[in-house]
Chain A
Amino acid sequence: MFGYSLSRRTLMRGTALVAGGLVLPRLALADDALRGGRLVVAADSEPRSLNPAIVASNGVFFIASKIVEPLAEAAFGSESGLAPRLATSWEGAEDGLSVTFKLREGVTWHDGKPFTADDVAFSALNVWKPLQNLGRVVFANLETVDTPDAHTAVFRFSRPMPIQLIRNAMPVVTSVLPKHLYEGTDISANPANHAPVGTGPFRFAEHKPGEYYRLVRNESYWGGDQPKLDEVVYRVLPDRAAAASALEAEEIQLAAFSQVPLVDLDRISKVPGLKVVTEGYEALTYQLVVEINHRNPILAKLAVRQAIAHAIDKRFVVDTVFLGYAASSTGPVPKNAPEFYNPQVTAHDFDIDRANALLDEAGYPRGEGGKRFSLRLLPAPFFSETRQFGDYLRQALAAVGIDVQIVNNDTPAHLKAVYTDHAFDLTVGSPVFRGDPAISTTILVQSGIPDGVPFSNQGGYANAELDAIIEEASETVDPEARTALYNDFQTMVTEELPLINVAEWGFTSVVRDNVVNVGNNPRWVVSNWADTGLAR
Chain B
Amino acid sequence: MRAFALRLMRSPEGMAGLILLILLAAMALCAPLVYPGDPMAIAGRPMLAPFSDPAFPLGTDRLGRNVVAGLMHGARASLLVGISAALMALIAGSIVGTVAGFAGGLVEDILMRIVDAFQVVPGFLLALAFVSVTGASLPVVVVAIALGAWTGPARLVRAEVLSIRERDFVAAARTMGMHPAEIAFREILPNALPPVLALASVIVASAVLIEAALSFLGLGDPNIVTWGSMIAEGRNLLRSAPYLSIAPGLGLVATVLGVYLFGEGVAEALARRRGRA
Chain A residues closer than 8 Å to B40, beta-carbon distance: 391, 394-395
Shortest CB–CB separation between residue A399 and chain B, in angstroms? 8
Residues of chain A from 182 to 203 with CB closer than 8 A to chain B in the complex: none
Known: A392-B42, A395-B40. A263 touches B222 (CB 8 A): no
Asked if A208 is an interface residue, CB under 8 A from chain B, the answer is no
Residues of chain A from 443 to 493 with CB closer than 8 A to chain B in the complex: none
1/0 per residue, CB under 8 A from A, across B15-48: the answer is 0000000000000000000000010111000100
Residues of chain A from 23 to 44 with CB closer than 8 A to chain B in the complex: none
Asked if A264 is an interface residue, CB under 8 A from chain B, the answer is yes
In the complex, residue of chain A having the shortest beta-carbon distance to the beta carbon of B41: A395
Known: A261-B236, A263-B236, A264-B240. A408 touches B62 (CB 8 A): no
Chain A residues closer than 8 Å to B38, beta-carbon distance: 395, 398
CA distance A267 to B241 in the complex (A): 11
Residues of chain B from 40 to 81 with CB closer than 8 A to chain A in the complex: 40-42, 46, 62-64
Asked if A420 is an interface residue, CB under 8 A from chain B, the answer is no
Asked if B135 is an interface residue, CB under 8 A from chain A, the answer is yes
Known: A320-B63, A406-B223. A267 touches B240 (CB 8 A): yes
Q: Is the CB of A392 within 8 A of B236?
A: no
Residues of chain B from 206 to 236 with CB closer than 8 A to chain A in the complex: 218-219, 222-223, 236
Known: A388-B62, A388-B63. A395 touches B240 (CB 8 A): no
Known: A320-B64, A388-B62, A408-B136. A395 touches B42 (CB 8 A): yes
Chain A residues closer than 8 Å to B254, beta-carbon distance: none
Asked if B132 is an interface residue, CB under 8 A from chain A, the answer is yes
Chain B residues closer than 8 Å to A395, beta-carbon distance: 38, 40-42, 63
Q: Is the CB of B218 within 8 A of A408?
A: yes
CA distance A369 to B222 in the complex (A): 21
Asked if B164 is an interface residue, CB under 8 A from chain A, the answer is no
B interface: dominant SS = loop
Residues of chain A from 254 to 274 with CB closer than 8 A to chain B in the complex: 261, 263-264, 266-267
Set A267, A391, A405: member contacting B63, Cβ < 8 A: A391
Known: A261-B236, A391-B63. A406 touches B46 (CB 8 A): no
1/0 per residue, CB under 8 A from B, across A408-433: the answer is 10100000000000000000000000
Q: Is the CB of B62 within 8 A of A320?
A: yes
CA distance A408 to B63 in the complex (A): 18
Asked if A158 is an interface residue, CB under 8 A from chain B, the answer is no
A interface: dominant SS = helix
In the complex, residue of chain B having the shortest beta-carbon distance to the beta carbon of A319: B46
CA distance A501 to B237 in the complex (A): 27
Q: Is the CB of A398 within 8 A of B63?
A: no
CA distance A384 to B63 in the complex (A): 13
CA distance A261 to B46 in the complex (A): 17
Residues of chain B from 129 to 156 with CB closer than 8 A to chain A in the complex: 132, 135-136
Asked if B239 is an interface residue, CB under 8 A from chain A, the answer is yes
Shortest CB–CB separation between residue B270 and chain A, in angstroms? 43
In the complex, residue of chain A having the shortest beta-carbon distance to the beta carbon of B132: A410
Set B62, B223, B236, B239: member contacting A405, Cβ < 8 A: B223
Shortest CB–CB separation between residue B131 and chain A, in angstroms? 11
Asked if A347 is an interface residue, CB under 8 A from chain B, the answer is no
CA distance A244 to B237 in the complex (A): 12
Chain B residues closer than 8 Å to A384, beta-carbon distance: 236
Chain B residues closer than 8 Å to A263, beta-carbon distance: 62, 236-237, 240
Q: Is the CB of A264 within 8 A of B63?
A: no
Asked if A140 is an interface residue, CB under 8 A from chain B, the answer is no
Q: Is the CB of B223 within 8 A of A264?
A: no
Chain B residues closer than 8 Å to A264, beta-carbon distance: 236, 239-240
5 A–B contacts from the bound complex (CB under 8 Å): A320-B46, A320-B64, A321-B62, A392-B63, A408-B136
Q: Which 4 A-B pairs have the closest CB atoms?
A: A406-B222, A408-B222, A263-B237, A320-B46
Which residues from chain B sit less than 8 Å from chain A, CB to CB?
A: 38, 40-42, 46, 62-64, 132, 135-136, 218-219, 222-223, 236-240
Known: A320-B63, A395-B40, A395-B41. 5 other contacts (CB 8 A): A266-B240, A381-B218, A394-B40, A395-B63, A410-B132
Which residues from chain A sit less than 8 Å from chain B, CB to CB?
A: 241, 244, 261, 263-264, 266-267, 320-321, 381, 384, 388, 391-392, 394-395, 398, 405-408, 410
